[in-house]
Amino acid sequence: MVEKWSVDYPAVNGWEKRDAYVYLPVMYDSEPERRFPVLYMFDGQNVFWDEDATYGKSWGLEKYLDENEIPLIVAALQCNTGANNERLAEYSPYRFDDPAFGHFDGKGQETLEWYIREFKPFLDENCRTLPDREHTMIGGSSMGGLMSLYALFQHGEVFSRAAALSPSIWVAPEKLAALVRRARLAPGTVLYMDYGSREMGRHQGMRRGFADFGAQIMARGVFLTQRIVPGGTHSEASWERQLPFMLGTLLFGLDI
């Protein structure tokens, strides 16, 4: 079951209403004493339902979780849909320039602070979550994948596991690598990271950069599952097909 409501959000272009979503597992009502791990996700409008999705195709996560009876709460927030690509600012921890869209001041830390200071406490108060670090995860794709990487390495005290599908590591690869090197990582840090073979050509040197970045992460002792998806594209349809791999990694060995 997915519940949807509206929240006030401090966007880069001023306070605005955003759709928030929370998925409760199929056994949530029948096991009233049970508590569940939480996966926080970006681009919430694309996570559950095709009718809400930006391009008419979602990850179909509600259907997948229901069919497989996975004991997991998923909480997600709609991204910035501003006409001037404000999403790129909200979902980047670093300033960057894009040849097609221009300059963006990175507001990703502010975005993440909302998840940590507002969204997570709300979920912990109103749902039967397992609120500790071990059972708190974060995930997303593209710029949301970049944010998930940043969350894991910048705020490892909050998130123990992350999923980054087609992450936009091209935004600031040197700064991201530096973050990985200096991050204070607790034992048991887990990361699922993939990239589609058919999207490698979107950015020069992506295959090598993706491999090098994975090696840097593994050198820090992170339990990393890294894949190049055969025929994978930069799309919700492709990310939906990776759900078994993504969730298998995030939930593997977790006491739930």
pLDDT value at position 86? 83
pLDDT at 239 over 90: yes
Percentage of the chain surpassing pLDDT 90?
84
Phi then psi for 206, rounded to 5 degrees?
-65, -40
pLDDT value at position 101? 67
Ranking 58-62, 156-160, 184-188, 189-193 by mean pLDDT, the lowest is: 184-188
Which residue blocks in 27-69 are alpha helix, DSSP H?
61-68
CB 11 within 8 Å of CB 86: yes
Read off the pLDDT of each residue in 103-123 and give the average, rounded to a whole number. 93
pLDDT at 102 over 70: no
The number of CA neighbours under 13 Å toward the Cβ of 192 is 22
pLDDT at 190 over 70: yes
Which residue blocks in 77-158 are alpha helix, DSSP H?
86-90, 108-114, 120-126, 143-154
**Which pTM was predicted?**
0.96
Decide which of 88 and 77 is more confident. Answer: 77
pLDDT value at position 106? 85
